Amino acid sequence: MIRVLFVCLGNICRSPMAEAVMRDLVEKLGLSSSIKVDSAATSSWHIGEPPHKGTQKKLKEFGISTSGMKGRQLSFNDFEAFDYIVGMDGSNVQDIREMLRQPNHPKIFRFLDLTPHRKDVPDPYYTGDFQETYGLVVEGCEALLNKIHADIK
């Protein structure tokens, strides 16, 4: 079983969007029994809350469910529990590394470093642009699936 954790600041916009998109892709590829996906926050601000209404609305446009998703904070145990810990921006990656006491481990990386963009995923909580974030998340999830496939060969 391969386990993927997406992490952003609040776990209400970017990381739950990535979790939902990745789950949808994994399901469509028939890999649900092989790949599990979750998301978390570096902060404790939105623990127990559902994804942001903008995230829910954008995902609903594409028939992607957020049912049952609730915000949670990254925990020290996540390092052992997940094979890939993916920060949505550079600040998230730095916080993840500090929180998990893993300053250089390769399973912790910035999401879009797997794409030609090699930049942060903009936070739509601040930008209001859920479409831009969605497009980058889809591209990043496809790239991550390719990485997973290459890693297990």
Active site residue 8: yes
Active site residue 123: yes
pLDDT (mean) for 5-19: 98
pLDDT (mean) for 125-131: 97
Q: Is the dihedral of CA 115, 116, 118, 119 positive or negative?
A: negative
Backbone angles phi, psi at 30, to 5 degrees: 70, 30
Q: Which of 8, 89, 110, 141 is catalytic?
A: 8
Fold of 2-152: Rossmann fold (3.40.50)
pLDDT (mean) for 23-47: 97
What is the pLDDT at residue 153?
Answer: 75
What's the pLDDT band for 152 if we cut at 50, 70, 90?
confident
Rounded Cα distance, 139 and 141, in Å? 6
In this predicted structure, the answer to whether residue 14 has a pLDDT above a threshold of 80 is yes
* All structural domains of the chain with their residue ranges: 2-152
Closest CA to 17 of 106, 94, 123, 117: 123
What is the pLDDT at residue 116?
Answer: 95
Active site residue 95: no
What is the pLDDT at residue 85?
Answer: 98
In this predicted structure, the answer to whether residue 147 has a pLDDT above a threshold of 90 is yes
H/E stretch holding 13 reads none
Task: State the residue for tokens 């600041």.
Answer: 9
**Taking the complete model, does pTM exceed 0.85, yes or no?**
yes
Q: Which of 38, 89, 120, 123 is catalytic?
A: 123
Rounded Cα distance, 82 and 79, in Å? 6
What is the pLDDT at residue 7?
Answer: 98
Q: Which of 13, 14, 38, 78 is catalytic?
A: 14
Report pLDDT digits (tens) over 99-122: 999 999 999 999 999 999 999 999
Report pLDDT digits (tens) over 44-103: 999 999 999 999 999 999 999 999 999 999 999 999 999 999 999 999 999 999 999 999
